[in-house]
Chains A and B, each alone.
Chain A
Amino acid sequence: MSADPLVAVESLRVTARRAGRTYPIVEDVSFQIEAGSLLALVGESGCGKSLTAAALLGLLPWGLAIASGRIRLEGQDVLALAPAQWRRLRGRQVGAVFQNPLAALNPSLPIWKQVVESAQLAFGLDRPAARHRALELLERVGVPDAAQRLDDYPHQFSGGMRQRVAIAVALACNPRVLVADEPTTALDLITQAEILGLLNRLRLEQGLAVLFITHDLSLVAEYADQVLVMYAGRVVEQAEARRFFAGPRHPYSRALLGAIPRLATPEVRLTDIEGLPPNPLDYPSGCRFAPRCPRVIDRCRSEDPPPVGDERQRVFCQRPWAAEGI
């Protein structure tokens, strides 16, 4: 694709301030997502993947800040914008769906109002136009009998339906970028598959650039175009999905894939990763995965891991696994 990527993040660094000191929480994360393409951002809880998404949305929690780097949405450098201007891009250029659909909607407003609230404010729709737009959006995300359900409240919907409504909320102003932060984690397996299928259909139909955040690699194997694996605030492996799933090169990526149950080969034992991720306020020097790594060598503990490979599959490791030939 020759067009500019819809999302371009360069050397993003997010820091936290505690008791007068600053701690890096996310370091040197870079990626691009083109129209109609899906990037899977993968890692364990606390690795900084959700904060990367929050930074992209301009919604970092209080106490965290973007220390350096660049974020461009449709070519526009959002960090150069005033907060109010950046706010106006949310909803219009970038929409977001979050983990817990049960809490994501205001319990005391009927859903149609929530679905079109941003569109009403952005385009000044009157009430009939707004209701029509709400109906259109709810039908697009596959809410059955949408016309009868406009005035219903969130508690009258199941979890999966609420996530569909939340997706309709995110798409109300036709953004071209969608951030999906673990959108299926709180749902049962069947509903997970339905929501994933819906997001994929919307991405193909509308040419959305999707940043899909998950801790579950198996979820995105089918749909991802690129995979970015984070560990303890840093990128450990970044690759085209085809190459990544053919042969992940970082020991951590391998371990993540090894922890996925497979129905086809139940006799294979699941492998888990020993130990816990390090505390962001006390990261080890050198490679942060070294204390848990099965392939660790002395140099890992003293030197930062070097980048290995090319832009099609880059891994930050002293002793990566060999690339599979594709």
Chain B
Amino acid sequence: MWAMIVRRLSVSAISLALLVTLVFFMIHATPGGPAYSILGSHASPQAVAALNRQMGLDRPLPEQYLIWWAHLLEGRLGYSYIQHVEVSHLIGVYLERTLILDLAALGLAIAVAIGVGLLQGYLAERIGGRIIGFFQIVFYAMPVFFTGILLIYAFSMQLDWLPPGGVGHTLAGHARHLVLPVLTLALPIAAGFSRYFGHQAREEYRQDYVRTARARGLCEWRIATHHVLRNAVRPFITLVGMMIPVLFVGGVLTESVFNYPGLGWLLWRSALDQDYPTVSAITLIIGVLTILGNLIADLLNSMLDVRVRYE
């Protein structure tokens, strides 16, 4: 078990190093180099050369690469020439808002997926199971901006129950502002998750141990929660880990529809402004979160797998 954890941690470390390297080359691959994007495409060659020297971009690439690592280890993600601020200062508050939105949506999606998936697995080919399957496809296919605008139209404009966007200033205000974006972001994810988990649950319901459980008089609720769930949940955990970048991409759209100032919104603005240091830093953060998500999913899985635990 411990050998497995060490092995898994080293895989994550290697992935992280590769990610950092990739982002480094991504910055250097910007058309014309960073100086052009700062000074504009009509800048004189002298001005570009001067800026390159000032930023250390005229040094050999390996040296710049080492400096990039040194800065990262100090927690410096770069300097935004558009906003004139250290990217790490910029990102903090946006990252927090995004984590709140994404984790709330993820939690809701997982809860819905497990409930709906167990029901779907139990119903199998019965009419109820088919109806659930139909709505999963519909909700999965609905684009975030469409759902978002529909929800804003219904709950903000017609019913006037919830704000159409932005953030609140009190705790209750925050919560009220989160309801619609969380629903919008969670809906397609819940649809995808529940379809996958429903399939897993259905496979488990076909297993003989379910019949044995029924034959000893257990009720369906107990069979679902104590037997099927336990076995169906492991591949699902892997899927959730893998879906974290997708969740974030959905978050970009959701945050722009609801004008919610999170990391996705910042990514969208920075991309429009060609603020490459900020875009690279956000890419790096998403990458780190993805690697962490997969690591947690794998560790959880091995803890739940009795065969791994007892070896």
Residues of A within 8 A of B (CB): 57, 59, 62, 84, 87-92, 95-96, 98, 100, 103-109, 117-118, 121-122, 153, 155-156, 166, 169-170, 172-173
Contacts and interface: CB of A to CB of B under 8 A. Distances in A.
A117 B231 contact: no
B214 A106 contact: no
Interface residues of B, number: 25
A300 B125 CA distance: 40
A186 to B, nearest CB: 11
Contacts of A84: 219
A107 B216 contact: no
Nearest to B231: A108
Given A62-B124, A153-B310, A104 B217 contact: no
Given A89-B217, A153-B310, A109 B230 contact: yes
A59 B231 contact: no
B170 interface: no
B126 interface: yes
B304 interface: yes
Contacts of A92: 217
Nearest to A100: B208
A109 B131 CA distance: 33
B211 interface: yes
Nearest to B124: A62
A121 B218 contact: yes
B46 interface: no
A91 B217 contact: yes
B309 to A, nearest CB: 9
A169 B212 contact: yes
B307 A103 contact: no
B306 A153 contact: yes
B199 interface: no
A86 to B, nearest CB: 9
A155 B212 contact: no
Given A98-B212, A103-B209, 5 more contacts: A62-B124, A105-B212, A108-B304, A122-B217, A153-B310
B214 A108 contact: no
Contact of B218 (A57, A62, A109, A118): A118
24 contacts: A57-B215, A62-B124, A62-B126, A91-B216, A92-B217, A95-B216, A96-B212, A96-B215, A96-B216, A100-B208, A103-B208, A105-B209, A106-B209, A107-B231, A108-B304, A108-B305, A117-B213, A118-B217, A118-B218, A153-B306, A155-B306, A155-B307, A172-B216, A173-B217
A59 B212 CA distance: 10
B208 A98 contact: yes
Interface in B111-168: 124-126
Nearest to A99: B208
Contacts of B231: 106-108
B213 to A, nearest CB: 7
A156 B204 CA distance: 20
B230 A108 contact: yes
Given A104-B209, A107-B306, A108-B306, A90 B215 contact: yes
Contacts of A172: 216
Given A103-B207, A155-B307, A95 B215 contact: yes
A105 B227 CA distance: 10
Which of A92, A108, A153, A173 has most chain B Cβ within 10 Å? A108
A59 B214 contact: yes
Interface in B286-311: 304-307, 310
A117 B307 contact: no
A92 B208 CA distance: 20
B3 to A, nearest CB: 20
A106 B218 contact: no
Contacts of A100: 208
Which of A100, A106, A122, A156 has most chain B Cβ within 10 Å? A106
Contacts of A96: 212, 215-216
Contact of A104 (B126, B212, B219): B212
B199 to A, nearest CB: 18
Given A62-B126, A98-B208, A106 B227 contact: yes
Contacts of A98: 208, 211-212, 215
